[in-house]
Amino acid sequence: MDKQITLSDLAKMLNLSTSTISRCLRNAPDVNPITKKKVLELASELNYEPNKLALSLLNKQTNIIGVIVANLDYVLATMVKGIDEVALEAGYTVMVCQSNESYGRELVNTSRLLDSLVDGFIVSVSSETKMYDHLKKIQTKNKPLVLFDRLAAGLIAPKVRLDNIAGGRLATQHLIDQGYKKIAVLAGQENLDISNKRLDGYLETLKKNKIKFDKDLIVHCDFNQDYAYLATKELLSMKKKPDAIFTITDRMAIGAMLAIKEKGLSMPDDIGLIGFNNEPITKLVTPSISSIEQPAFELGKVAAKLLIEVMNNEADLSNREIVLEPKIFVRESSNKRRI
């Protein structure tokens, strides 16, 4: 393989300094036109290509966007696809790191992306993340930061999110409209903003419909099918067991469904079930599962557009917050009034 021509090679061949060669290639105005012509002709003849890494270090711009997500499940992977589509069209490459719901890994990912000189960050925090010094460090280094989906409470930064309270309202009101009264919730960890907002929507809707709140019907557990299965078994063993369950993710809804079937109960007649995210599996199982949809692909696109706007805008956009609206998809698991 032929050796790639460098600036030093051109400088030796023309008996010039590397800085002069560099200024000629950058079309700097302070270079003799005759010298510039010689440099450009030789560079063309030898197929010289500039070192992109060196240029990025010189310009302090890599055209790489760092994305940190809790995992690459269906929802977040779909959001990342949306980010990548916008980034690619704008001339950026996306570097994705997943924390696997670990605060420690999130710290490591942040540090490594900072070392990689990415131009900006798009971050969705892990379920373990309660402190945000690593995100503040991004800001102190003057790197643009956009939070999306799972936010960092109290951190001032541009944000893109779903209206999770509205999603909780939609799910709970639907179950009430179907005649369910004792509605349980499988929620996420108590520090997680998206879980708490969906739970707030649930509580607001119970109050609106004058249904007494029962704290025993709220179970906090990991976003995990197995945990949801065990939590549902406990709920169904209660003396005053629920007649419907709202899970704040579809993965949890699958775990709940397994426990319901194991108990010999029928959906929607004995018990209703609704999930959140509207993942493809909700349409494939029997009975099909009602779910609240968040437009994941669109949310990712909006987050990328916002970051690019922040990177190219001198105005302070730190208080910008873009909120997308959820939709409900009613299926067999909760549709008592089906025709």
CATH number of the domain where residue 120 is located: 3.40.50.2300
Each residue's pLDDT tens digit, 173-194: 999 999 999 999 999 988 889 9
pLDDT, residue 285, reads 97
In a domain, 300, yes or no: yes
Each residue's pLDDT tens digit, 36-54: 889 888 888 888 776 655 5
Integer Cα distance of 79 and 72 in angstroms: 9
Is the same domain home to 122 and 158?
A: yes
CATH number of the domain where residue 34 is located: 1.10.260.40
Is the same domain home to 36 and 87?
A: no
In a domain, 264, yes or no: yes
Q: Which domain holds residue 44?
A: 7-50
Residue at which a domain ends, from 256, 274, 294: 294
How many domains is the chain built from? 3
pLDDT above 70 covers a percentage of the chain that reads 95
pLDDT, residue 1, reads 41
Is the same domain home to 158 and 300?
A: yes
Is the same domain home to 266 and 194?
A: yes
In a domain, 131, yes or no: yes
Ranges in the chain, pLDDT < 70: 1-3, 50-60, 338-339
Is the same domain home to 182 and 253?
A: yes
Residue 160 contacts residue 316 (beta carbons within 8 Å)? no
Is the same domain home to 263 and 300?
A: no
In a domain, 312, yes or no: yes
Is the same domain home to 216 and 275?
A: yes
Is the same domain home to 238 and 290?
A: yes
In a domain, 337, yes or no: no
Is the same domain home to 280 and 168?
A: yes
In a domain, 331, yes or no: no
Is the same domain home to 168 and 287?
A: yes
Q: What is the pTM of this model?
A: 0.82
Integer Cα distance of 304 and 85 in angstroms: 9
Residue 149 contacts residue 311 (beta carbons within 8 Å)? no
In a domain, 339, yes or no: no
In a domain, 268, yes or no: yes
Is the same domain home to 269 and 300?
A: no
pLDDT, residue 11, reads 87
Is the same domain home to 180 and 285?
A: yes
Residue 328 contacts residue 238 (beta carbons within 8 Å)? no
